[in-house]
Amino acid sequence: MVEFSSMVDLLRHRATVQPGDRAYVFLSERGMEDVSLTFAELDRRARAVAASLARHAQKRDRAVLMFPPGIEFIVGFFGCLLADVIPVPMMPPRRTNLRDPNLNIIVDCAPRFALTTKALIETRTDIVERLRDFGLEWIAVDAVTGHRSGRTSRFCNTPPAPRRRRRA
């Protein structure tokens, strides 16, 4: 039996040995298959995210993963692992929540990036605005990988605030 030292090694192996096999399946609320990814697709898309991150990231930078339910979270997660960026998962905040616990997560981890979907960036401008002062670079994972949108743009059009110094 083959042993792997990381999830990245396992993904690379499966993308080579079982490229057409399903790696992940996302089910709708009704339990129906909504979308799936093969090992080869996941590897290709995660590498695209990793390449995008690597252009601007330093080793062990952090990225919050703020995704609505769907398969894009997996792509972003593996993209972070491939780029040696620490993924920090968190749910998108509710619009009506005046006391946002996500702010504590962001303060604690001092992320450089926020990975999400193009749709969340476009429809939840309240989140982007609320987090503007943290100087996050927003990356739409589905836009980077060309999934659904067919584009390769990566950042949303909000100018980042000045970078805060990260705690040691």
Give me the tens of pLDDT residue by residue for the chain, a chain 168 residues long: 789 999 999 999 999 999 999 999 999 999 999 999 999 999 999 999 999 999 999 999 999 999 999 999 999 999 999 999 999 999 988 776 656 788 889 999 999 999 999 999 999 998 898 899 999 999 999 999 765 433 333 444 343 444 444 444
Cβ neighbours of residue 37 closer than 8 Å, sequence gap 6 or more: 22, 23, 24, 25, 45, 71, 74, 75
CB 68 within 8 A of CB 96: no
Q: Bridge-partner residues for 140, per DSSP? A: 116
CB 15 within 8 A of CB 7: no
CB 19 within 8 A of CB 39: yes
Structural fold of domain 7-144: Rossmann fold (3.40.50)
Domains in the chain: boundaries: 7-144
**For residue 132, how many C-alpha atoms fall within 13 Å in the half-sphere facing its CB?**
10
User: Residue 111: exposed, middle, or buried by beta-carbon count in 10 A (0-12, 13-18, 19+)?
Assistant: buried
